[in-house]
Amino acid sequence: MNKRQLLQSFLAASALSFGLSSAFAQTPTPIKFQLDWRFEGPAALFLHPAAKGYFKNAGLDVTIDAGNGSGGTVTRVASGAYEMGFADLAALMEFHANNPDSPNKPVAVMMVYNNTPASVMALKKSGITKPADLAGKKLGAPVFDAGRRAFPIFAKANNVGAVNWTAMDPSLRETMLVRGDIDAITGFTFTSLLNLEARGAKAADVVILPYPDYGVKLYGNVIIASPKLIKENPAAVKAFLSAFAKGAKEVIANPAVAIESVKARDGIIDSKLETRRLQLAIDTVINSPDARAEGFGAVNAGRMALMASQVSDAFNTKTRVSPDAVWTAALLPPAAELNILKK
């Protein structure tokens, strides 16, 4: 082969390579992603990297939908309606243990809320100042609320006597507390505290008993993926987590700017209020002392095993939760990409 033929062969190979690269770039991997809740402050963790094009640049076509509770998110990923989602780890554990024969049980692939955001909240006029004061009181929360589901763990850790539960729609929880229909509620602190303020309560008049501060070291929300996606396209999951981590670092650094991505999806939100909600989430469950100790995205094996045992008991599951079945760290980005928490 002479030099001219060699050059032609090289150019042809380059053209083919470029054509394949262009074709790949034009056909990103579609991923339907289900949030745990509405488009509120914490949703910026996902909407910001989407708005900045980080998922797209990673070769992904990510569609992000609002949710109506972690249980629903886990179920929808298990059904195949969504490839990935954001859900409370306890809800994922419960699904695994109650559906041992399900062929498509989602798997947690990244820790985001290193501590559960759940807390018990009451108004000072109730006289409740500590867990023991809850005995005999009327507590309220939706039946699927993470704090309500995990309350037996909180009660056991603090020797709380029997309480009386009232169920309601999520939109009525804080209203009923302000009206005095119930003595206390369970809920995510960054959600219920701001909702109470919106209903006329002053933050100074709200008693907050955060689960992590009272001996309940449950993990909170995780990114989950279907085993089908993990098996067939692990590179897509890795790409998603890398893009997410890049965006999350910016969200933590500047929540006020990041909240604009939420405003773009739901124009009626109060940007100032949702920025406060996002900052509360960052301070209490994302950039918490436990998260900084364990590293963003990761888990502690002993703590995970203890939570699996606690959920099995508190939720009275059909089978015991297997920590190794609900979690994998195999798809996490390199440590340098996960170094996103401010000291």
Q: What one-character-per-residue DSSP string does 165-198 give?
A: EE---GGGHHHHHHHTSSSEEEEEHHHHHHHHHH
Residue 317, pLDDT above cutoff 80: yes
- For the segment 173-177, the average pLDDT, to the nearest whole number, is 97
Cβ of 264: how many Cβ atoms within 10 Å? 14
Cβ–Cβ < 8 Å for 262, 39: yes
Give residue 26's pLDDT. Answer: 65
Q: Give me the domains of the chain, ranges plus CATH numbers.
A: 29-114+219-338 (3.40.190.10), 118-214 (3.40.190.10)
Distance CA(242)–CA(196), nearest Å, equals 36
Write the pLDDT tens digit of every residue in 96-106: 999 999 999 99
Give residue 277's pLDDT. Answer: 96
Residue with tokens 């000072």: 124
Which pLDDT band holds residue 16 (cuts at 50, 70, 90)?
Answer: very low
Q: Phi first, then psi: what are they for 64, rounded to 5°?
A: -110, 120
**In this structure, what token pair is assigned to residue 187?**
């809920």
Residue 18, pLDDT above cutoff 60: no
Parallel/antiparallel/unpaired status of strands 184-188 and 138-140: parallel
- For the segment 241-264, the average pLDDT, to the nearest whole number, is 98
Cβ–Cβ < 8 Å for 108, 327: yes
Write the pLDDT tens digit of every residue in 26-72: 699 999 999 999 999 999 999 999 999 999 999 999 999 999 999 99
Cβ–Cβ < 8 Å for 269, 39: yes
Rounded alpha-carbon distances, angstroms, from residue 39 to 51, 68, 259: 14, 10, 10
Cβ of 17: how many Cβ atoms within 10 Å? 10
**In this structure, what token pair is assigned to residue 336?**
């340098």
- Is 0.85 surpassed by the pTM of this model? yes
The helix/strand/coil state of 80 is coil
Distance CA(236)–CA(229), nearest Å, equals 8
Q: Phi first, then psi: what are they for 2, rounded to 5°?
A: -80, 175
Edge-to-edge, what's the strand order for the sheet holding 184-188? 164-166, 138-140, 184-188, 118-123, 206-210
Write the pLDDT tens digit of every residue in 112-163: 999 999 999 999 999 999 999 999 999 999 999 999 999 999 999 999 999 9
Q: What is the mean pLDDT of the chain?
A: 93
**In this structure, what token pair is assigned to residue 321?**
């939760």
Q: Which helix (H) or strand (E) holds 234?
A: helix 234-253
Cβ–Cβ < 8 Å for 241, 27: no
Cβ–Cβ < 8 Å for 340, 252: yes
Residues of 22-51 as b/e, b for ≥16 C-beta within 10 angstroms?
eeeeeebbebbbbbbbbbbbbbbbbbbbbb
Which pLDDT band holds residue 8 (cuts at 50, 70, 90)?
Answer: low
Which pLDDT band holds residue 5 (cuts at 50, 70, 90)?
Answer: low
Residue 11, pLDDT above cutoff 60: no
Q: Which helix (H) or strand (E) holds 324?
A: helix 323-326
Cβ–Cβ < 8 Å for 221, 24: no
Give residue 24's pLDDT. Answer: 46
Give residue 342's pLDDT. Answer: 81
Name which of 123, 150, 117 is nearest 41 in CA terms: 117
Residue 90, pLDDT above cutoff 50: yes
Cβ–Cβ < 8 Å for 47, 262: yes
Distance CA(9)–CA(69), nearest Å, equals 57
Give residue 343's pLDDT. Answer: 75
For residue 145, with 0-12 CB atoms within 10 Å meaning exposed, 13-18 middle and 19 or more buried, which class applies?
buried
